[in-house]
Structure 1
Amino acid sequence: MTARAREGTAEQALPEQGRRPGEAAPPFAHLSLELGHFYPSDLRAGPARLRERFDRVAPWAEAARRACAAQVGPAARISTCVLIDDHAARRTAPSEVLPKLLAVAADAGLDIDYLARESACARAGAVRPARLVEARLAPSLAAGPDSSRPAPSVNGWLSNGERSPSAGAPGGGPLWRPPRESGRHRHSVFVDIELWSERSGGRAWSCSFLAAVWQLLRLGLLRDRSRAVLEAVAATGEFPDSWRDLPPLIRIRPEAEPFTAYRTCSVLPSGFLPVEHAVKVVLDHWAPPPEALAQLAAHAAHEGRTLPAEVAHRVDYVFYGPS
């Protein structure tokens, strides 16, 4: 049975709760396992650099698989993916580097099910996923009518609390108050996140914000007119010479489980930790579409599972250090 036939059967068996007429409900894996986020420098460095990365990822990916199977059972549906930063990849051609990437991963014992372009988090055809996320961002608790801090939609910054005041004390003396993290345990870990910057060529989205979009795409919570934003295109066996000609999301293995999943886990170098901390803050400030939440809850309940109410709690990480 083909992957598309299996997915169709699974969708027909799921309840219609939370769905609107004509709404396409994406099927869900139990876990979306990210095996890496690769920059042009990684791709140009050659097979040895890639093999070192995948060798570091392999044992942690296996641990994530076992953890999922322990929770769900031996029939756990797990799909894998990698994200390619194609913004500055002009000196590389997909036809040259992607077959090497897939071959090296396979040699390391890792099967890649889906390959996505990072630029698709900003624009995928006529849809702009980043704008969809921006539209549902709630302001920081410190922002409001009585605060000097503008909403994130105004200045492109988001925080997880209240920063130190910038105004001086009456009489001209210095006034300082420590920043405060919202919901802190005992001590604050305060972060201020730049979501985008405005340039002459238009808006430039930050890595942190695009990484948050990436997580929401994998969780199946991001919708455009009640429909899934990304549709995986089956690989043809050949890749184009231009990144612009590469589909936003490619299904490499026909037998792959669904791209969208109830939970995600990303296995990444420790250098990504600050970016992913920012991702969690963005997710904490993002208001999911109620129909998407209801749909996922219905799908999970049909399988006897309950999903965390907070979107950020559906996202897990493994960070590994240098070799």
Structure 2
Amino acid sequence: MSSPFREATASTRVERVSMSHVSIEIGHFSMEELANGEARIAAQLRRVAPLVRVFADNARAEFAEAAGGHSDVRVSTCFLVDDYFRGDTDPRVILPKFLRLVEQAGIQLDYVGRESGCARVPLRDNSSSPIELARVVADMVVAAPLENYNGRRPPTSELGWLSNGRRSSDDEPSYATDLRAYVPPKEHAARNHSVFLDVEMWSRKPGDEEIFWSCPFLASVWQLLRLGMVRYIGQPVAEPVKIIDWAAENALPDRWDLLPTVMQVREKAAPFAAFQSLSILPKRYLGIEHSVQQILDHVNIESGVHDVYELLARQNNIDVTRNLSDRLAHYFLPTYKTPPEPDPAVLSPGR
């Protein structure tokens, strides 16, 4: 149950949320993978299952030791459905199939999130229009100031690109007679050499005002939700809604946008939000998660939310850090050849 927390210098009441110690993301599949056969999904889940158990046991041991042997260590698991870039599938087909495969792999999955819900989410009382959640987070992104900025390139708030340093001189105006030496990009916090990264957070089609959010940016919103760090006028957003009987007839709608942003699919689940997050992902998501780290390093969370987090962390004997990306951990699965899907035409009935 949420309880209020009031800043001494502000009138907005910041509500706190229940927190687990660790949130474990059990993997990721594209909608194409979820919509097609089961062999590849089952194969990856079999690889993930022992990792989930090991990481959960390690987290319980580590946090229990930090708390002087206290055993009430809460670990929750989650999965994010890619319904933003392809939402034309039927959740009544996709979700039961996936959740059945998860159960068969021996994984206890607590929550399922929707990627499009990271862009737009309804208020919990449905009293007004949905919250443009991605826009709320985008407004909290503060780009580092650039030296000798000449104003030629639009700022991050307009262009949608976020870098971790100074871009190359290719961005500067040039003329045929300009013989100045090329200046390469440079990372702000470079140690000996730069690892420069320029992330596209959103885009717009020419003449179109609608924003198309990038995968790294929506993944950043997902991580903020998992860390319990998002509020709207002091209220938590995208609080989990129970859909325990997901296999029952008519339990699910025929459109993804009719589902909650976060669904609780197991009755006895630890809280969705957590002090730390761990994501077990295929290696192809390494670049996206690098981009997520950078975006979170530039998100300016309101002080009241930080105060709530720090209070809860102290009560749970957890060392606090205001650097959001420090609370993230990843395990990337090596790339192996997955089994081909069987041809339904050659399968006899009942096999």
Aligned amino acid, residue 262 of structure 2 = L
> Which one is further off, 234-243 or 93-102?
234-243
Query: Following TM superposition, by how much is the alpha carbon of 1:123 offset from its aligned partner in structure 2, in angstroms?
Result: 0.2
Aligned amino acid, residue 280 of structure 1 = Q
Q: Hey, what does 1:225 align to over in structure 2?
A: 233
Aligned amino acid, residue 181 of structure 2 = L
Q: How many residues align?
A: 312
- Find 2:93's aligned residue among 93, 96, 103: 96
Q: Hey, what does 1:53 align to over in structure 2?
A: 44
- Find 2:194's aligned residue among 188, 203, 213: 188
> Which one is further off, 225-234 or 54-63?
54-63
Aligned amino acid, residue 114 of structure 1 = Y
Q: Hey, what does 2:210 align to over in structure 1?
A: 202
Residue 28 of structure 2 aligns to a residue whose secondary structure is: strand
Contact (CA 8 Å) 2:220, 2:292: kept in 1 or not?
yes
Residue 262 of structure 1 aligns to a residue whose secondary structure is: strand
Aligned amino acid, residue 38 of structure 2 = P
Aligned amino acid, residue 99 of structure 1 = P
Q: Distance in 1 between matches of 2:148 and 2:308?
A: 32
The TM-score normalised by the length of structure 2 is: 0.83
Instruction: Give runs of aligned pairs for residues 112-191 of structure 1, distance below 5 A.
Output: 112-125=109-122, 126-142=130-146, 146=150, 148-166=152-170, 167=172, 168=174, 171-191=177-197
Instruction: Give runs of aligned pairs for residues 241-256 of structure 1, distance below 5 A.
Output: 241-256=254-269
Q: Hey, what does 1:322 align to over in structure 2?
A: 335
CA 1:24–1:317: 2 relative to 1, 3 Å:
same
Aligned amino acid, residue 106 of structure 1 = E
Query: Following TM superposition, by how much is the alpha carbon of 1:102 offset from its aligned partner in structure 2, in angstroms?
Result: 0.9
Q: Distance in 2 between matches of 1:236 and 1:67?
A: 28
Q: Distance in 2 between matches of 1:121 and 1:67?
A: 30
> Which one is further off, 162-171 or 286-295?
162-171
Aligned amino acid, residue 221 of structure 2 = V
Contact (CA 8 Å) 1:143, 1:151: kept in 2 or not?
no
> Which one is further off, 171-180 or 258-267?
171-180
Q: Is 1:24 matched with 2:15?
A: yes
| % identical aligned pairs | 34
Q: Distance in 2 between matches of 1:87 and 1:16?
A: 34
Q: Distance in 1 between matches of 2:175 and 2:193?
A: 25
Q: Is 1:270 matched with 2:283?
A: yes
Q: Distance in 2 between matches of 1:146 and 1:116?
A: 42
Q: Hey, what does 1:36 align to over in structure 2?
A: 27
Q: Hey, what does 2:294 align to over in structure 1?
A: 281
Residue 305 of structure 1 aligns to a residue whose secondary structure is: coil
Contact (CA 8 Å) 1:140, 1:151: kept in 2 or not?
no
Contact (CA 8 Å) 1:141, 1:161: kept in 2 or not?
no
Identify unmatched segments of 5+ residues in structure 2: 65-70, 123-129, 246-250, 337-351
Q: Distance in 1 between matches of 2:113 and 2:147?
A: 35
Aligned amino acid, residue 124 of structure 1 = V
Identify unmatched segments of 5+ residues in structure 1: 1-7
Structure number with the higher helix fraction is 1
Superposed CA offset, 1:197-224 (max 9, x none):
1123711000011111110111111110
Contact (CA 8 Å) 1:142, 1:149: kept in 2 or not?
no
Q: For the aligned residues, what is the CA RMSD?
A: 2.2
Query: Following TM superposition, by how much is the alpha carbon of 1:88 offset from its aligned partner in structure 2, in angstroms?
Result: 4.4
Q: Hey, what does 2:324 align to over in structure 1?
A: 311
Q: Distance in 2 between matches of 1:186 and 1:254?
A: 51
Query: Following TM superposition, by how much is the alpha carbon of 1:64 offset from its aligned partner in structure 2, in angstroms?
Result: 2.0
Contact (CA 8 Å) 1:144, 1:150: kept in 2 or not?
no
Larger Rg: 2
The TM-score normalised by the length of structure 1 is: 0.90
Q: Distance in 2 between matches of 1:102 and 1:143?
A: 51
Instruction: Give runs of aligned pairs for residues 56-75 of structure 1, distance below 5 A.
Output: 56-73=47-64, 74-75=71-72
Q: Distance in 2 between matches of 1:181 and 1:56?
A: 36
Query: Following TM superposition, by how much is the alpha carbon of 1:314 offset from its aligned partner in structure 2, in angstroms?
Result: 0.6
Residue 202 of structure 1 aligns to a residue whose secondary structure is: coil
Q: Hey, what does 1:3 align to over in structure 2?
A: none
Query: Following TM superposition, by how much is the alpha carbon of 1:127 offset from its aligned partner in structure 2, in angstroms?
Result: 0.9
Q: Hey, what does 1:4 align to over in structure 2?
A: none
